[in-house]
Amino acid sequence: MEGGGGSGNKTTGGLAGFFGAGGAGYSHADLAGVPPLLYSAFGVIIEKTRGAEDDLNTVAAGTMTGMLYKCTGGLRGIARGGLTGLTLTSLYALYNNWEHMKGSLLQQSL
């Protein structure tokens, strides 16, 4: 048993394995479907809990998705995943509201 032994079976750990995306016959497209599924689920749960549909839900769902997706990496992985999710969804929220923010700034300067 060279290289630490083992049965030689390749499996995917973490959430991809939990959702059944490990083992033979699964493509990268299968693995790429896990984050959007998590993001959508978190978004719906947060919206129903808060009773509001706004950008805070988007940012919170993105942050939670990143944290859960990287939870197998320990606290450092959770922090990195959460920060990545927070950054990406914050940039999206900023882009999505750019015209509204630009208009508000112009009205304040007049």
Confidence check: pLDDT of 37 > 60: yes
pLDDT at position 93: 94
76 torsion bin: left (phi>0), alpha (psi -120 to 50), beta (else): alpha
pTM: 0.69
Alpha carbons 71 and 106: distance in angstroms, whole number? 43
Q: Does residue 17 carry a pLDDT above 90? A: no
d(C-alpha 18, C-alpha 11), whole Å: 11
Provide mean pLDDT across the span 28-45.
88
Predicted pLDDT of residue 33: 85
Average pLDDT estimate for 71-92: 95
Contact between 16 and 34 (Cβ < 8 Å): yes
Contacts made by residues 42-46, CB under 8 angstroms, sequence distance 24+? none
